[in-house]
Amino acid sequence: MAEIRSTIDIMMERTKGMTLSTREREDLRREEFAKRARGIRFKLMQEGEKIDDVLAALDAEPPDDRALLQEVLWQTMVELMPATGEDLLRSLAVMEKMPQGRSKGHVLHEIHSSFKNSVKRQAEERKRIVNRERKKLAALGISGSAVVPKIPSRQELDASFQAELAKLKTALL
């Protein structure tokens, strides 16, 4: 009676002598670190006072792993940088504490000042819209100090800041 071979035996026989190339191993390693970086980014963005602790834990990694993890984490932080107010400021604060943030601090500062200017422009635009709507209501006979037109608040930033942010993101990478 013939010997029945298991699936694992057949697979082992067929893959005998096959190995991953150096490039494939490096890609798998980068993929693994990209997943870790997204998790670390999530921790950094969620936990306010523990930023230094999380970044200190990165220093405990072996030197080769640490360098790659810091590089991938920086790329993840830049690529996933939010374009809304509080989240953007939080992301910038975290990035300033990272090793790459020290060398690219001028770009982070430029993003911060560009964001402030964008918020100022939006506030001025909102005031103009409120005044225009009050005049329209006054023309209809509705006026007084209690009259406040209902204007939806915009969470997204203006297009000029979006373009500036995209340009500065490339400078960070």
> Where in the chain are the domains?
1-80, 83-173
Pair 51, 94: CB distance under 8 Å:
yes
Lowest mean pLDDT among 64-78, 126-140, 155-169: 155-169
Q: What is the mean pLDDT of residues 91-106?
A: 85
Q: What's the chain's average pLDDT?
A: 82
Instruction: pLDDT band for 1, please (50, 70, 90 cuts).
Output: very low
With a CB cutoff of 8 Å and minimum separation 6, the contacts of 74 are 95, 98, 100, 172
Gap between the Cα atoms of 14 and 123, Å rounded: 67
Of 6-15, 101-110, 147-156, where does the model show the most confidence? 101-110
Query: Residue 75 pLDDT > 80, yes or no?
Result: yes
Residue 70: count other Cβ atoms within 10 Å of its Cβ. Answer: 20
Gap between the Cα atoms of 151 and 140, Å rounded: 18
